[in-house]
Amino acid sequence: MKTQQEYLDLDKQLLWHPYTSMSKPSPHFLVESASGCEITLSDGRILIDGMSSWWSVIHGYNHPAINSAIQHQLAQFSHVMFGGLTHKPAIELAEKLIAITPDDLQRVFLSDSGSVSVEVALKMAIQYWNTQGKPDKQRFVSPKSGYHGDTFAAMSVCDPENGMHNVFNAALTQQFFISPPPTGIHEPVKTAYLDEIKETFQQHHQHIAGFIIEPVVQNAGGMRFYNPQYLNHIRSLCDEFDILLIFDEIATGFGRTGKLFATDHTNICPDIMCVGKALTGGYMTLAATLTNNKVALGISANDGVFMHGPTFMGNPLACSAANASLSLLSEYSIPEKITQLETWMREALAPCTHLEQVKEIRCLGGIGVVELKNAVNLHEIQPKFVELGVWIRPFGKLIYLMPPYVITKDQIQTLGNAIYHVISEEPC
């Protein structure tokens, strides 16, 4: 039996963690178990979870309904290849996804992770235009401050500056970037912004396959909320210039913004939509790219096939977890549940307004953000949160909450108190 310290030493020596150095490893905490909204560390400490493990564990950890769905599937089979074979968990999942997403989206491609679902979306767009006799349409427009994943094509449409992507510049397709959407969910639409998009489209539409954007909230690129009206206008511009509209709902999907999908804040439908993260309730990696008949049948015209097929496509265990998670989601009223969560977070974060270190507090649905004036030092601040019994992982100037939907008011209050305490010790 290894001691906790031995495990942690090995971890440091052998394992890469997200965005970390192998010579200056950041502190990591050994987890023993997790249940509901609590993560138990091997040293016995219990942390209230404010992160939903990167926004995925919406129903809490170790949920009996999802556990039992996976166990049931495990007893049948864990995996079969999706080429030539199919299975009920995938079929049921496709049926469910099509039922809950905007009407035009009728076809589903299952893949392994959010980044891959973005790759698939971009490939779909390029292949579609190819079959339409427009093979020059191979590039994409994306607003700055966006985040779409870490694989190459996904990276190419991420924010060109604040990503770490400048290292890869020469290896990335050069895309067209426009300003980030002006912030403020209720701020009136600025026509200058739409003009900027129109100009880019006018100048380059012969080369533009699609426009990719995170609807309503730009997440990892800065937790920026913007008026959904922009999306209605963008839809019209895309139609005008023969450009496919791609929504990346990987972070916003499945209720996080207070509607089932962020798209539901608008009255339009994208041509292609990516979902991931919370799809399996945070149990397993799975993502999906949905599209309309226009794109799907366009690609398939003249004996065309879509050129993608991962080994673990449609993994039955992951699909069964997703089916169970979606059933749970359908049992509660998203608007009520998430509005309540938003109210609790507003209350819990309100005291931070008075701190000199704080620039702005903003909440939307299940997202609560405290933006500081200065960036925090993650290595220093992370252990402080753990000391206070909460799991919160800030980035840059942002300390935020994206808790599981099943969190209680008291637990939110504890998270809020910890944030207040930690910020008050930061330099101004």
Ligand X SMILES: *Cc1c(COP(=O)(O)O)cnc(C)c1O
Judged on CB neighbours under 10 Å (0-12, 13-18, 19+), 335 is: middle
Identified binder of ligand X from the candidate list 58, 66, 220, 317, rule CB under 6 A: 220
Give min distance, CB of 32 to ligand X, in A. Answer: 25
Residue of 379, 381, 90 lying closest to 370 (CA atoms): 381
Among 91, 84, 78, residue whose Cα is nearest residue 315: 78
Site mask for ligand X (CB under 6 A), range 327-356, x = bound: ------------------------------
In the sheet where 38-41 sits, what is the strand order? 31-35, 38-41, 46-49, 390-391
Query: Nearer Cβ to ligand X, position 70 or 246?
Result: 246
The Cα 233–Cα 120 span in angstroms is 25
Asked whether 107 and 290 are in contact (CB, 8 A), the reply is: yes
Residue at 427: amino acid letter: P
| Sign of the alpha-carbon dihedral angle for 408, 410, 411, 415 | positive
Q: Is 330 annotated as a binding residue?
A: no
Provide the strand spans (E) within 125-248: 139-143, 176-178, 208-213, 217-218, 224-225, 244-248
Minimum CB–partner distance for residue 365 and ligand X (Å): 15
**Residue nearest ligand X, Cβ-based:** 114
For the segment 149-168, give every residue that binds ligand X (CB under 6 A).
149
Considering the complex, what minimum distance in angstroms separates the CB of residue 388 from ligand X? 26
Cβ-based nearer residue to ligand X, 181 or 416: 181
DSSP structure class, residue 226? B
**Binding string, residues 186-215; x marks residues near ligand X by CB under 6 A:** ----------------------------x-
Q: Answer whether 141's CB lies under 8 Å from 201's CB.
A: yes
For the question of residue 283 being annotated catalytic, the response is no
Residue 122 touching ligand X (CB under 6 A): no
Tell me which DSSP letter residue 182 carries. Answer: P
Residues 265-304 as x/- pattern, contact with ligand X by CB under 6 A: -----------xx---------------------------
230 is known as an active-site residue: no
Question: Considering only residues 115, 263, 280, 414, which one is a binding residue for ligand X as defined by CB under 6 A?
Answer: 115
Q: Is 96 labelled as part of a ligand binding site?
A: no
248 is an active site residue = yes
- Our CB check for ligand X shows the closer of 208 and 251 to be 251
Q: Does 216 bind ligand X (CB under 6 A)?
A: no
Stretch that binds ligand X, among 166-174, 247-255, 341-349, 403-411 (CB under 6 A): 247-255
Member of 250, 334, 345, 370 binding ligand X (CB under 6 A) = 250
Instruction: Give the 3-state secondary structure of residue 420.
Output: helix
Question: Would you state the structure tokens that stand for residue 56, as one six-digit string?
Answer: 């995925």
Query: Could you tell me whether strands 398-401 and 367-372 are parallel, antiparallel, or unpaired per DSSP bridges?
Result: antiparallel
Mark whether 150 is an active-site residue.
no
CA 79 remoteness from chain centre: 25
Nearer to ligand X by Cβ, of 96 and 148: the residue is: 148
Does residue 17 contact residue 28 with C-beta atoms inside 8 Å? yes
Annotated binding site, which residues?
54, 114-115, 147, 248, 277, 309-311, 393
> Which residues are designated catalytic?
19, 147, 248, 277
Q: Which chain residues interact with ligand X by CB under 6 A? A: 113-115, 118, 147-149, 214, 219-220, 248, 250-251, 276-277
